[in-house]
Amino acid sequence: MADPTVPPPPPARTGTTPEDGPAAARAELVARLEADGALRPGPVRDALLGLHREVLMPQAYVRRSKPDETPPRWDLLDWAVAADREELLGLLYGGQSVSVQHEGEPILGRVPGPRSGGSMTAMSSTMGMTAGLLQRLDLRPGQRVLDIGTGAGVTAALACAVAGDAGVVTLDRNPHVTAAARERLAALGYRPTAATGDGEHGWPAQRAYDRIFVSYAVTRVPPAWPEQLAPGGLALATLSTSSPSWPGLAVIARTGAGRLEAHVEAVELGHRPAHGAKQIFLNARFRKRITAGAGNGESTHTPRTGPPPSGARGMWLALDHLHPGLVRDWSADHLVIGAPACGSWVIAGPDGAGGWTVTAHGPRGIWTEIQETAARWQAAGSPASYRLHLEPDEDQWVSAGTGPTELSWPLTIAPDPVPARQADSPHPHPHPHPDPDHHATQEKTT
């Protein structure tokens, strides 16, 4: 049965008219991405310019509740409802992430309106990040592409437009996501293989893939992904800990001779973990405690050397793995980092006289961890990327430098740090932060 919420693709037009809102919105989105440096001339740009997002996402959620308000409240907007169309158009073409599924619900045939509580279980990622990663994949006609984490189907649609739908497989573990993507991609004229399954296993039913795109974060690389890469193939995936603050990008390539080469780049933006994965964040109560503690001057001292700059992403990536359990408050004017498991935190800011004022609280020495990691990182050559070792026995680790100054850490499936106390633990929400407008460095499924 056809999905009644899917509008047919509008006919091609030679120019933009006042009634042609989607066409103008597409052009504006592409222009913004180009101006921001996230998009350049090429097949991805051309595909994005022709992508009718209102067909892929004829319904989408907009949050109505305030940050940290519980239970959260959303409205499901519908393209078929005239009163919703202007707001939905802005949401779909604004470039930010778009929520498309609540609590694992069926997506086809939904009744629009309010929702309360629960969480969003499928999203379309920020368009700038998606465009950048797809350009990095260097998609070409005829390639075999595995899109792991279907979400709203944006990545699958763009891959079909560039590579051709015959070689594209889009995989999601939620059958409702798969069903909606299959129908809506067909409405755009694309018929890739839309499958339901565990992304960790890839999709071995098809041939080896030239490109693999993963739209959720993992703590280590599932062996199936590199195994399913064809010679000359390339896979990209966000590699992170339970913290959303300092993601890495795993770049995995198989040479024409069949040899595997991989590294991890420290990046600004990355995908979120799959729905249900544990992730820490700074909730409103913890942030208020930090603000109050800063005013009390707890454990304050003024060092000559401040923290490494935010742009030293290789250092912060190392800190995240060597000393897990830390989250940065990116909305703060200066450096604010907390450890939700034990209630520790640190604030560092310039003192106005050429030095830095550091205020710390709690049993964990976060400032010392930062200083020690910075010294090790500098000794290893201040790397922005690290070698990624993927052994046949599934042992995985990351390294940079050589000899006594080598900086390395293993990639293991480890439990989150055990909280010393639960009074200030994060809200038990299955996503990194219950507020989608909260400034974080990770976005979820495309």
Catalytic residue positions? 125
Contact 143, 167 (CB under 8 A): yes
Contact 115, 76 (CB under 8 A): yes
Token representation of residue 295 = 């005013």
Token representation of residue 394 = 């599934």
DSSP string covering 52-103, please?
-HHHH-SEEEEE-SPTT-SS-EEEEEETTSHHHHHHHHHHHTSSS-EEEEET
Token representation of residue 3 = 């999905």
Contact 335, 348 (CB under 8 A): yes
DSSP string covering 277-336, please?
-------HHHHHHHHHHHHHTTTEE--SS-PPPTT-HHHHHHHHHHS-S-EE-TTSSSEE
Sign, Cα dihedral of 272, 276, 279, 283: positive
Residue-wise burial string across 316-330, b where 16 or more C-beta atoms lie within 10 A, e elsewhere: bbbbbbebbbbbbbe
Half-sphere exposure of 31 (CA within 13 A, CB side): 6
Contact 230, 207 (CB under 8 A): yes
Token representation of residue 380 = 């290893």
Nearest to 9 by CA among 49, 52, 57, 58: 52
